[in-house]
Amino acid sequence: MQLSYQVGILGATGAVGTELLALLQERQFPLKSLVLMASERSVGKTTPWGVIKPIAAASLAGLDFVFGCTGKDLAQQWSGAITEAGAVFIDNSSAYRLTHPLVVPEVNALDLHDHQGIIANPNCSTILMVLALGPLHRVRPIRRVVVSTYQAASGAGLPAMAELQAQTAQVLQGQVPQPEVFPFPLAFNLFLHDSPMTPLGYCEEELKMIYETRRILHVPDLAVTATCVRVPVLRAHAEAVNIEFYDPFPVAEARAILAQAPGLRLLEDWEHNRFPMPLDASGKDEVLVGRIRQDLSNPCALDLWLVGDQIRKGAALNALQIAETLIAQA
Amino acid sequence: MQLSYQVGILGATGAVGTELLALLQERQFPLKSLVLMASERSVGKTTPWGVIKPIAAASLAGLDFVFGCTGKDLAQQWSGAITEAGAVFIDNSSAYRLTHPLVVPEVNALDLHDHQGIIANPNCSTILMVLALGPLHRVRPIRRVVVSTYQAASGAGLPAMAELQAQTAQVLQGQVPQPEVFPFPLAFNLFLHDSPMTPLGYCEEELKMIYETRRILHVPDLAVTATCVRVPVLRAHAEAVNIEFYDPFPVAEARAILAQAPGLRLLEDWEHNRFPMPLDASGKDEVLVGRIRQDLSNPCALDLWLVGDQIRKGAALNALQIAETLIAQA
C-alpha cells in the first residue's frame, strides 16, 4: 500500500472540482502532489490549491488518480491518455456509466474489483437514492420504484446557482429576468429537468436514474420510473421515493435498517413534523432520510423522503470515496 | 331560473376570498347583491367590492349562495345558520368534504343533485389532479395513483406568500430569516407539507388527496399514495402523477383525451423540452398538463405532469363553477 498519492483534477475550477479540493483537505487524503487542470480560459489562474495547468499528456505523467469533473466530451477525449499514464480515472461525467464500474462505495464497493482503469461516478440523484434503496434491497428485493425529484440549481454548475440568486433578486425588484444558463426562469418557479429529451418521453436525467440504479443494484430489469424537476434551491436535491417490494416490508424494520445504513442519517421528528430539508443537507456528507411510512395504496410498498447535498455526496464526495475505497482495497 | 343572485362571502379578505371577488366580476356572475363578511379585525374595512360586515345571522338574510373562504371551524360554526337562511353554502374548508357532495364540476357535476344545502369544494391539489384523472378513468379504470406535489406558498394564504418574498430578500442580503407563518424557512428551501401529521405517517394534506380523490371518482377503495411538498413558488401547484390502470393505456389515446378534457390545456413542446411551469399557470383558469408518457416501469401505467393556479382553479374558481353549475341545472 502506497503511503501517498499523486492526484490530478480535470475541471478543477467548477462546482464539483472546487468541492473535491476542499474534501481532499478535509478528509486528509494522503496527497503527495496535486495537479489542477482546466479548460484554456482558466489555465494560469492561481488558486489556493495551485496554478491551473492545461489538460495535456505532460500534466498527467506520474499521477495515481485523476478525478474527472468535466462533461462527457472531455472525459472521453482524455480517458485514454489518463489510463495510459497509469492513473485510475474516476469520472463524474456520464461517459462511462453504462460500460464501466459504476460505484457508490456504501452500496456496491465490490464492483471496483478488476476495474480497467476507469470508474464512473453515478448521477447525483441516483447516488442519493441508492443509498436508501441498497440496504433495503439486500433484505427484501425491490420490485418497482417511482421517484419524483426536487433538484437544486447546483446540478447545472456554479453559473446556474449564480443565475438563480441574481434572477430572484430581479424578480423581487419587479423585473422580468432573462435566463441564460437555464432555458427557463427558476426564481419562484420550477420546471421539468432541462436535460435533453429522449424518444421514450423521459429526459436523460430520468433515464440515468433508471439505468444507473439497475446497474448499481445489479438488477438489470428493475422497474423504475422517474420524474426529475428543477426547483429554486441552491445545492441539495430532495426525492420522494415510492418503493414496492415483492413482500410487505414492516416500516419499523425498514427504519432500523436505514438508521444504521452507511452514508445515511435518519431525520424524523414526527411530533414536530420535522423531516429533511435542503437547508439541512447543504454542505453535509450524509444523505438525510425520513418520513418512512407504509404506502396506503399497496401493502408491499413504502414511501420515503430523502435529501442530500448534490455537489458533495451527489458528486465530489462519492468520487473521493471511490479513491479511498480503492486505496483501502489495495 | 332566477336572473340574478344574492351572494355572501365568508372570509372575503383572504387570498381565496379576494380571488373569488375578482372572478365574480370577470365571469360576469349574475349578481343581485354582494355581502362581504370577515373576522372582527376586518369588519368595517372598505374594499372595492363594499364594506366588510361581521359574520352574523343578520348578514345572511336573503342570500342565495354563501362561499366559505375560511378555515373549517368557522365553516362548521356558521353552516347551520347559512342553510337555515335558505342559502347554498359552498365551502372551501375541509369541514364537509367527506360527508357532503364534493365536486369538481368538470368531473362529477352530477354529485350536485339532491344536495342538502352544503357543497364542499375539494382540496386544491386534489382538484388539479382529478381534472386529469377523471377523463382517463372514464375510459379505462384507474387502479393506483402515486403522486408527488410541488405546492406553492399560496396554499397557506396571503401572509405565507408575503413571508416567502420577504424571507427570500433577507437571504439574498445574507440574513437568516425567522419564519413565522410557515414552521420552516421556505426561501431557497422546501419541506414536506406542514399540515398536521397523522398516525398513518401521512400529513393531512396527503390524506385529503387520497380520500377526496376516491370520493370524486366514486371509487371508495382506489389505491392512492401522495407525498406533499411545499416549494418556494408563489401561487401555482405542480404535481408529478404516476397512474396505473388495469390495462395498458396507449399514450396517444390518453393525450387525445386530455387535450379535449374540460378545464385542462395540453402544453407539450417536446422539441424544446417545454412543459407546464408554475409561471405559466399563475393567474390562469386552466390546469396545464404535459409530459404524458408510457411508464417504463409498468406496461399499464402512464406518467404525467400538471400545474394549476392554487388560488384560482384550486379554490376560488372551482367554488364559483359549482354555483354556476347549480344555476345551470336549476
Q: What is the ipTM of this complex?
A: 0.96
What would the pLDDT profile of B20-52 be if each residue is shown by its tens digit?
999 999 999 999 999 999 989 999 999 999 999
DSSP state of B111: G
Q: Verify whether the Cβ–Cβ distance B184 to A277 is below 8 Å.
A: yes
CA torsion angle A262 A264 A265 A269 (round to 10)? -130
| pLDDT of A29 above 70 | yes
Q: Number of A:B CB contacts under 8 A?
A: 174
Once rounded to an integer, what is the mean pLDDT over residues A287-301?
98
Name which of B134, B155, B122 is nearest B322 in CA terms: B122
Judged by CB atoms closer than 8 Å, whether chains meet at A296 and B232 is answered as no
| Chain A nearest C-alpha distance from B4 (Å) | 40
Give the C-alpha separation, B175 to A320, whole Å: 33
- If pLDDT is split at 50, 70 and 90, which confidence band does A151 have? very high
> Would you call A238 and B223 a contact, using CB atoms and an 8 Å cutoff?
no
User: Which among B124, B137, B193, B228 is annotated as catalytic?
Assistant: B124
Please list the alpha-helical segments (H only) found in chain B.
15-26, 57-60, 72-84, 105-108, 124-139, 158-172, 204-217, 251-260, 278-281, 317-329
Is the pLDDT at A1 greater than 80, yes or no?
no
Gyration radius of chain A over CA positions: 20
For the stretch A51-83, pLDDT in tens is: 999 999 999 999 999 999 999 999 999 999 999
Look up cell 468541492; give the residue. Answer: A19
pLDDT in tens, A300-320: 999 999 999 999 999 999 999
Residue B195, all three cell numbers: 399540515
Regions of chain B short of the pLDDT cut 50: none
Residues of B with CB below 8 A from A303's CB?
Answer: 201, 225, 227
B232 and A153 Cβ atoms separated by less than 8 Å? no
- Give the nearest partner residue to B229 out of A150, A192, A224, using CB atoms: A150
Q: Is A73 exposed, middle or buried (0-12, 13-18, 19+ CB in 10 A)?
A: exposed
Q: How many CA atoms lie within 13 A of B218 on its CB side?
A: 12
Tell me which chain B residues have a C-beta less than 8 angstroms from the C-beta of A292: 201
Q: How far is A51 from chain B (nearest CA, A)?
A: 31
Q: Is residue B272 among the annotated active site residues?
A: no
Inter-chain CB proximity A145 and B297 less than 8 Å: yes
Q: Which residues of B touch A293 (CB under 8 A)?
A: 200-202
- Across A141-161, average pLDDT: 96
Q: Which residue among B146, B202, B279 sits closest to A146, beta carbon to beta carbon?
A: B146
B294 to chain A: which residues are within 8 Å by CB? 200-201
Q: Could A298 and B227 be called an inter-chain contact, meaning their C-beta atoms sit closer than 8 Å?
A: no
Cell digits of residue B296 = 417504463
Predicted local confidence at residue B1, as pLDDT: 63
Band of the pLDDT at A3, cuts 50, 70, 90? confident
When scoring A167, A231, A298 by the number of chain B Cβ atoms within 10 A, the one with the most, hence best to mutate, is A231
What SS3 state is found at A153? helix
| Nine cell digits for residue A27 | 478528509
Residues in chain A with CB shorter than 8 Å from the CB of B184 are 274, 277, 279
What rounded mean pLDDT belongs to chain A? 97
pLDDT tens string B139-184: 999 999 999 999 999 999 999 999 999 999 999 999 999 999 999 9
Strand, coil or helix: A108? helix
Which of B183, B223, B277 has the CB atom closest to A190's CB atom?
A: B277
Answer whether A191 sits within 8 Å of B145, measured CB to CB: no
Give every CB contact of residue A167 below 8 A, 6+ residues apart in sequence: A177, A179, A185, A186, A187
Q: Which residues of B touch A189 (CB under 8 A)?
A: 233, 277-279
Q: Which three cell numbers stand for residue A107?
A: 452500496
pLDDT band of A322, cuts 50, 70, 90: very high
pLDDT of B330 reads: 83
Question: What's the CA gap between B215 and B211, in Å, rounded?
Answer: 6
Q: Tell me how far apart the alpha carbons of residues A259 and A261 are, in angstroms, rounded to a whole number.
A: 6
In percent, the amount of chain A with pLDDT more than 90 equals 97
All three cell numbers of B89: 353554502
Say yes or no for a CB contact (<8 Å) between B190 and A295. Answer: no
Residues 6+ apart with CB under 8 A from B124: B151, B155, B237, B310, B314, B315
Mean pLDDT of A223-238: 98
Residue B150 and residue A294: Cβ atoms within 8 Å? no
- The catalytic residues of A are 124, 237
Is there a contact between A192 and B233 if contact means CB atoms under 8 Å apart? no
Other beta carbons within 10 angstroms of residue B220's beta carbon come to: 8
Q: Pick from A223, A224, A279: which is nearest to B185 by CB?
A: A279
Question: Taking CA atoms, what residue in B is nearest to A145?
Answer: B297
CB contacts, 8 Å: A164 with chain B: 188
Distances (CA, A) of B263 to A189, B131, B239, B287: 22, 7, 16, 6
For the segment A136-145, the average pLDDT, to the nearest whole number, is 98
Task: Say yes or no for a CB contact (<8 Å) between A197 and B270.
Answer: yes
Of A200, A270, A298, the CB nearest to B144: A298
pLDDT at A64: 98
- Chain mean pLDDT for chain B: 97
Q: Would you state the pLDDT for residue B2?
A: 80
